Homo-oligomer: A and B are copies of this chain.
Amino acid sequence: MNQKMSNIANELTKNNIKPSIHRMRILEYLMDKRDHPTVDEIYINLKKECPTLSKATVYNAVSLFVNVGLVKALTIEGTEVRYDYTKNNHGHFKGEQCGFICDFDININQMNFDGLDHCEILSKDVNFKGICSECLLNNKR
């Protein structure tokens, strides 16, 4: 096992998740490709290398990861859940025409808000939607 894989194994063990081959592969995928994939996208792409992989395994793995906080489940638009490994605070912008999701910088923790006294806030999400620069250019033509 190379260095990268043993790091991934470590991440999992730290969170009380046994580092099986599939789980490691799935986490590796999420770490490498930060394009907020759906379960289906993870499944289709990993299936090439691991032909025995089942979609249920992907569902199991990502929900384990989400439960321990290793990855975040993004629900920017209805009926699709996407997964994001990145931990540093950022917002998500979804282009409504092309469907592309990109990260943007925003200091979510500096935002001041009111009306949630005595609540325990566990996660904060900022989602913008609109037309991305590329689509705007294409539309002009």
Residues on A facing B (Cβ under 8 Å): 73, 75-81, 91, 93, 95-96, 102-106, 111-133, 136
Contacts and interface: CB of A to CB of B under 8 A. Distances in A.
Minimum-distance CB pairs A-B, first 4: A118-B133, A78-B81, A104-B115, A106-B113
Nearest to A117: B133
Given A119-B136, A121-B130, 4 more contacts: A117-B133, A119-B132, A120-B130, A122-B131
B126 A126 contact: yes
Contacts of A121: 93, 128-130
A104 B75 contact: no
B104 A114 contact: yes
17 contacts: A75-B75, A91-B113, A93-B119, A95-B119, A103-B115, A106-B113, A111-B111, A117-B133, A118-B136, A119-B131, A119-B132, A120-B136, A121-B130, A123-B129, A125-B126, A125-B128, A127-B127
